[in-house]
Structure 1
């Protein structure tokens, strides 16, 4: 599956920064619901997620000593609660919604690629905006 066949639309509003929130949900949901190896998401960092809530959840998952689905779903909720971030990320209800958004673990590579692609596009836009501002000075 290549990035062009990924089933989710990229952020459809060109006036907003590029993002693929559904891909972000697929990755996080898959981490919560399936036994996918960490290597499947090894290229991702919290900053790659357009939604800062998703970045915070990914960071928390990355801090887990060992990650397996289901049992660590409880660990994640406790970890976020202990750090005071559970409500900031939407509470346990949102974690449940992410688990339900998982779809298939086969979607993860394309979703990771989409997240990285939209992150790179946001970086390019940020650089272009800085250059434009410098040119106007």
Structure 2
């Protein structure tokens, strides 16, 4: 917790009362973690499904990089079909899509936007989130 406070990372409280980093992490600038050297222990321990597959030799580095590239392309495709973000919009594109899809925020999204969003979320679920799929 001290590290997270020192780095000015936004914290939230889970339903069980335990602390957690708010998502989209405020240390993430584009594709770079600005707190990487001092990142919290939970971040150090976390390995996405793709990293585990790479570490266990199930995929090559080139295959893993291709999967990452496709993830970025799918997220950029979602961003391209979303309305311009408002001042209070989430930084993360997929969080923005989720918010824009709500009726109280002008949703639902167009069929094209929803299709792009679903394709991106499905890709992330399959290759990165594993058991920690979106809720």
Q: Structure 2-normalised TM-score? A: 0.28
Specify which structure has the bigger relative contact order, considering alpha-carbon pairs within 8 angstroms and separated by 6 or more residues: 1
Structure with the bigger percentage of strand: 2
1 or 2, which has the higher helix percentage? 1
